[in-house]
Amino acid sequence: MSIDIRNISKRFGNFVALDNINLDIASGELLALLGPSGCGKTTLLRIIAGLETADAGQILFHGEDTTDKHVSERQVGFVFQHYALFRHMTVFENVAFGLRVRPKETRPSETEIKRKVHELLELVQLDWLADRHPAQLSGGQRQRIALARALAVEPKVLLLDEPFGALDTKVRKELRRWLRRLHDEVHLTSIFVTHDQEEALEVADRVVVLNKGHIEQVGTPEEVYDTPASPFVYQFLGDVNLFHSRVHAGWAEVGKGRIAAPEAPDAPAVIYVRPHEIDLSRVASGDALHGEISHIRILGATIRLEVDVEGHDGVEVELSRERYQDGGWQVGETVFLTPRTVQVYSNPQ
């Protein structure tokens, strides 16, 4: 089912949580709402679910206005960050809940409920836990049960609020791959909220980057990562070095070197460079930035060097382990930096 979000605004007192949000979500899409905490992503998700009401605007499900529809009639599946499993019920009863509360006319028979619940528990690969209580499960298991419970009512939309936020890194990686596979199997229109850019880029078909209540950019993971629409998106999607300078005739001077900015107008500018897109050399080339290595940090497979460039201390350069060992870099050495790709934003506020 497609979802159209039209002019949605929401305030909490003086705080503007959402400012005139417009967004179309295609049927069967897996969409990520990405942003820092307080950007309004969870509020938007809760408004779509009907757990929160917007001050203005409409949410259309398959072209139909849902503004007056109660949460319980919207046929959405919602997965909470902290699982919200019914603690006094077994796993089986948790999953069966949505079927048992139906009015008599539409409620499935007991054998039908049993079949359905076990089918869902098999789908999330936890059939063997049917008789346990939520407190007896690990975090990853709880979240998968919560997902099975949400799917039991055959929702038309699946909404996930930071579904893996409370889990440790390893379980998180497993679960997001699993979620992607599950989505490819059931093809349910799904929206998930996250503050983890890696998670959004890995799992989603499309990513919506939110900041301070408005949308910064909507696009596929490649689009938002390769061509960020604003400095905020660039910064939010990965580590970044900032060079404050002034563009003159297609060049921005930084210390004794300069960075090419062929398309930028002559104006003050901020130049963004990702740490892994900088080449390091001991030989001075014409434009390279001059610097001195101040720290070397070994982070497993990658090595991060901090280089003090004139006017810009602590420029981060990331190297693979091999390139680091081939170069034999030492703290205190003078080095020359050449950015491979840069993003120039003119006239920063």
Applying CB under 8 A, the residues found at the interface with another protein are 49-51, 71-78, 80, 82, 84-89, 97-98, 101-102, 132-133, 135-138, 141, 146, 149-150, 152-153
The token pair at 150 is: 């949400």
Closest approach, Cβ 152 to another protein, in A, equals 8
Closest approach, Cβ 30 to another protein, in A, equals 19
Residue with Cβ nearer another protein (158 or 179):
158
Q: Are strands 334-339 and 278-281 parallel, antiparallel or unpaired?
A: antiparallel
Residue 183: half-sphere exposure toward Cβ, Cα within 13 Å: 22
Residue with Cβ nearer another protein (78 or 92):
78
Closest approach, Cβ 150 to another protein, in A, equals 8
Residue with Cβ nearer another protein (46 or 206):
46
Q: 10 Å Cβ neighbour count for 104?
A: 5
Q: How many helices (H) and strands (E) does the chain have?
A: 9, 20
Residue with Cβ nearer another protein (137 or 252):
137
Residue with Cβ nearer another protein (167 or 289):
167
Distance CA 158, CA 178 (A): 15
Distance CA 309, CA 314 (A): 7
Closest approach, Cβ 338 to another protein, in A, equals 51
Residue with Cβ nearer another protein (20 or 81):
81
Instruction: Output Rg (C-alpha) for the chain, integer angstroms.
Output: 25
Closest approach, Cβ 86 to another protein, in A, equals 6
Closest approach, Cβ 100 to another protein, in A, equals 8
Residue in this structure with the two tokens 């346990």, named with its chain if needed: 132
> Residue 325: CB partners within 8 Å, gap ≥ 6?
none
The dihedrals phi and psi of 252, each to the nearest 5 degrees, come to -115, 125
